[in-house]
Amino acid sequence: MPDFILYVINNSLWAKGLAALVLLVYLQRLATKPDVPVLSQFRSMAFVLLLTDLALLFLPTYSVFPILQGFGLLFFYHRVLAVYSADGKLPAWFWVLSVPVLVVTVLTPILGWPWFVGFLGPVVLLGMWFAFSQKLYAISEFNTEGAGVIQASRRNLIQGMILLHGTALILVPWGGYLNPFVQMVLFPLVDLVHTWTLSFWERFADAQKNRHLTTLEKNLGSLFEFMVAIGNAISEKLEMDKVMDFVVKSAVKATNADGGAIFLLDEFEDVLRVKAVEGDFPPPYQVPPKVKLKIASLTEYFQSTPIPLDKTIVGECAMTRKSIFIHDTRDDARMSQNAQLDQIYIASIILTPLLQGNKVFGVLAVVSRRGNYLFNADHYSQIQTFADYTSLTINSLFTYLELLEKQEMEREVGIAAEIQGQLLPSKLPQVSSISLAAYSLPAKGVSGDYYDVINIRRGQILLAVCDVAGKGIPASLVMVMIRTIIHLVAHQPGMTVGRILDVVNWGIAGKVSLDRFATLALLSYDFASKRLEYSNAAHHPLLIFRAADKSFETLDTEGIPIGLEKKTKYNQINTVLQPADIVVLYTDGIIEAMNDQGSQYTLEALQKVILAHHEFPPEKLKRAIIEDMNGFVGKAKQHDDQTFLLMKVDG
């Protein structure tokens, strides 16, 4: 069609075609990155661009399509922003303004109001782009993960928009929309500028993802060193003070803070006392006027004055049991005295409660006293992890010290059981669409089993069962490590069960000397799609009861136990569950439960019980299994921990 080609050339549409090609190539590249979060929005944006490009080729209404294109793109830009921003919704005024303007724009060529299209349409459009750029600056800096991406890329976005709209504002009044030179510059410019801004977004999303991974690795690295040192400290010299000094030192080092402190709740009164301080930690509250504003007096005052639970930010943290992250003390009225007075100057502070179950027993805090070094989301998550592990360890330590006053030989056994007891979920989450039941009975003195149920996010749940080789305190500490790592990473986006196993294994392998191996099975279940993913490191296969044909099936993946080789990669397998299906995770102690004759309970017996009682809800089924197993075992002694988790799909 030589006419068509001439038409394209004469109307400078070839330049637009080239630009569109660039966009297509870019999209192809993006397609190779399935984990860029807003890829689908980018694609829709590009689709809008290309569609309007195509329309330009065939339809003479040059003026309408750029406007439609502008609105379409604005819509998708808002959608991208919504993915990253806290509220995730498009602003209401967007609809209020754009819908009528669009309607009029489309009708104009038909009804013949050229002046409107030539003037008001673009003005409204420009105004909305301006409002959009304002919104870019309104994104709060630390309350969403993606906000960092917005911050990093907004300058480029603004530049792109100024370039595009500025050029349009200069050229269009000068030559009019129908001027071929104007078209040759503007049309490809649209595609190119949007491709450019998209690529910035993509690049920053990428960098953030990588930073995330490096931070995760660093986090795990420092967490691990921390765990090993605590483990050693516990086995060598059980001094609570030493352990806490170590914790606060590590927290300060990991966040590059200027100072850190641990406050512990007094045993009798409702006050918090300073137990450990590292570096430069000024009192994070209003100091009474009688105290001289000199370092020595301030330090003495701070370390000797108990803080009532209803006073100051420290008390608030303990009372509400919620972490407090003040990125910039100038923005928060609670810290006004610390923001203003040099001697107690604090630029940024993170406080996090130390919890045992749902009781708070202390607070861990770190401060920055440099105005140009404010804590960010990564520091915050690191402190959370430290606090998590510290709480568990300090509790274990307290328990150990208590039990130390009692019997000798039995202590190792009792402590391990205590430690394990604190790790297990105190109650199973109540969620719609599935029911859960759990059973765990340690054998005399041995505590090698750990199980957990974690709500990863709305509509997705993670089940874990773990059997640590070796028993006693070292094995319990390994269990603490495993649990902490699982809790640390399970919520991260993109963490499949296979990846979680990789990370747990990586964290455990290689360094600790004793009793560091374990079998671990992880199952994640999505309520909406009923999709189940299972990965396991040398654990028993997952047992599934299919209600439809009352049959059993097993899911298994290959893998050596965790803790053996650092770089092991674990696979996963998935399936879809149907209503009334039952899923069972169990440990050796169930299948190998022995009676006086030395015979084992076996998987077949377990299946038989489940088949017979499959209509029961999990709690009742659990009791049926326990009864059947105990009936079989009789008076014979239990020789291994017995643990199983049941999950039944409602319906």
Partner 1 sequence: MSQDIKELVINENHPLFDRTGMFYKEFPSDFRQIRYFTLLIVQKAPPEIKEINLLEQQISEIIKNAVKHGNLNNPEKKIRVWYSFSTAHAHLLVEDEGEGFQGIEEWNSFNRKRQEAFQAQDFEDLGNYVSYRTTRSDEHDGGNAMFAAVEYWNDGVVFNNKHNAVAVGKTFPQRRLGLEIS
- Angle subtended by helix axes 473-489 and 377-404, to nearest 10: 160
Q: How far is the CB of 471 from partner 1 (least distance, A)?
A: 5
Residue nearer to partner 1 on the CB measure, 385 or 440: 440
Angle between helix 497-508 and 180-236 (nearest 10) = 50
The window from 166-174, 178-186, 283-291, 468-476 that contacts partner 1 (CB under 8 A) reads: 468-476
Sign (positive/negative) of CA torsion 445, 446, 447, 449? negative
**Strand-pair partners of 526:** 460, 531
Q: In b/e form, how buried is each residue of 434-445, taking b as 16+ CB within 10 angstroms?
A: bbbbbbbebbee
Return the range that interacts with partner 1 (CB under 8 A); candidates 159-167, 483-491, 561-569, 606-614: 561-569
Give the nearest distance from C-beta 446 to partner 1 in angstroms. 7
615 binds partner 1 (CB under 8 A): no
Residue number with CB closer to partner 1 (330 or 639): 639
Q: Are 69 and 21 in contact (CB under 8 A)?
A: no
Distance CA 591, CA 644 (A): 10
Min dist CB 407 to partner 1, Å, is 13
Residue with Cβ nearer partner 1 (315 or 472): 472
Q: In one letter, which amino acid is 265?
A: L
Q: What single-letter DSSP state applies at residue 177?
A: T
Closer Cβ to partner 1, 126 or 564, answer by number:
564
* Residue 598 interacts with partner 1 (CB under 8 A): yes or no: yes
446 contacts partner 1 (rule: CB under 8 A): yes
Query: Does residue 515 bind partner 1 (CB under 8 A)?
Result: yes
For residues 544 and 562, which CB has a smaller minimum distance to partner 1 in the complex? 562
Is residue 348 within 8 Å of residue 373, measured between CB atoms?
yes
**Letter for the amino acid at 511?**
K
Decide if residue 564 touches partner 1 (CB under 8 A): yes
Are 490 and 454 spatial neighbours (Cβ–Cβ below 8 Å)?
Answer: yes
Judged by CB under 8 A, the chain residues 322 through 361 that form the site for partner 1 are none
Residue where the block lists tokens 């030559």: 175
- Tell me, what DSSP letter sits at residue 37? T
DSSP state, 601?
Answer: -
441 binds partner 1 (CB under 8 A): no
Which range touches partner 1 (CB under 8 A), out of 10-18, 148-156, 284-292, 562-570?
A: 562-570
Long-range contact set of residues 340-347: C-beta below 8 Å, sequence gap at least 24: 341/293, 343/282, 343/293, 343/294, 343/295, 343/298, 344/282, 344/283, 344/284, 344/287, 344/293, 344/298, 345/282, 345/369, 346/282, 346/284, 347/371, 347/373, 347/374
Ramachandran angles phi, psi of 175, nearest 5°: -115, -10
Position among 37, 283, 442, 561 found at the interface with partner 1 (CB under 8 A):
561
Measured from the CB atom, the residue of 223 and 475 that comes closer to partner 1 is: 475
Number of residues that bind partner 1 (CB under 8 A): 19
Q: Is 471 in the site for partner 1 (CB under 8 A)?
A: yes
Among 92, 110, 296, 409, binds partner 1 (CB under 8 A): 409
For 599, counting Cβ atoms within 10 Å of its Cβ (0-12 exposed, 13-18 middle, 19+ buried), the class is: exposed
Using CB under 8 A, which residues numbered 566 to 595 contact partner 1?
592
How far, in whole angstroms, is CA 479 from its chain's centroid? 22
Question: CB 645 → partner 1: shortest distance, Å?
Answer: 21
Residue whose CB is less far from partner 1, 432 or 513: 513
Amino acid at 179: N
Q: Which of 260, 448, 507, 589 binds partner 1 (CB under 8 A)?
A: 448
Of the residues 145, 332, 412, 619, which one makes contact with partner 1 according to CB under 8 A: 412
User: Quick one: 475 or 645, whose CB is closer to partner 1?
Assistant: 475
Task: Examine residue 449 and tell whether it contacts partner 1 (CB under 8 A).
Answer: no
- State in angstroms the smallest separation of the CB of 598 from partner 1: 6
* Residue labelled with tokens 């605590």: 230
Shortest distance (Å) from residue 410 CB to partner 1:
10
Distance between CA atoms of residues 318 and 250, nearest Å: 21
The 8 Å CB, 24+ separation contacts for 324-328 are 324/349, 324/350, 324/351, 324/352, 325/142, 325/350, 325/351, 325/375, 325/380, 326/350, 327/141, 327/142, 327/374, 327/375, 327/376, 328/374
Q: Quick one: which segment of 43-51, 103-111, 125-133, 559-567 binds partner 1 (CB under 8 A)?
A: 559-567
Smallest distance, Å, CB 634 to partner 1? 16
Cβ closer to partner 1: 418 or 640?
640
Q: Contact at 8 Å (CB) between 430 and 280?
A: no
> What minimum distance in Å lies between the beta carbon of 594 and partner 1?
8
**Residues 109, 175, 459, 470: which binds partner 1 (CB under 8 A)?**
470
Nearest distance from C-beta of residue 442 to partner 1, angstroms: 13
Pick from 165, 209, 211, 639 the residue near partner 1 by CB under 8 A.
639
Binding to partner 1 (CB under 8 A) within 28-57 occurs at none
Count of CB atoms within 10 A of residue 469's CB?
15
CB of residue 463 vs partner 1: minimum separation in angstroms? Answer: 23
- Interacting residues with partner 1 (CB under 8 A): 409, 412, 446, 448, 469-472, 515, 517, 560-561, 563-565, 592, 598, 639-640
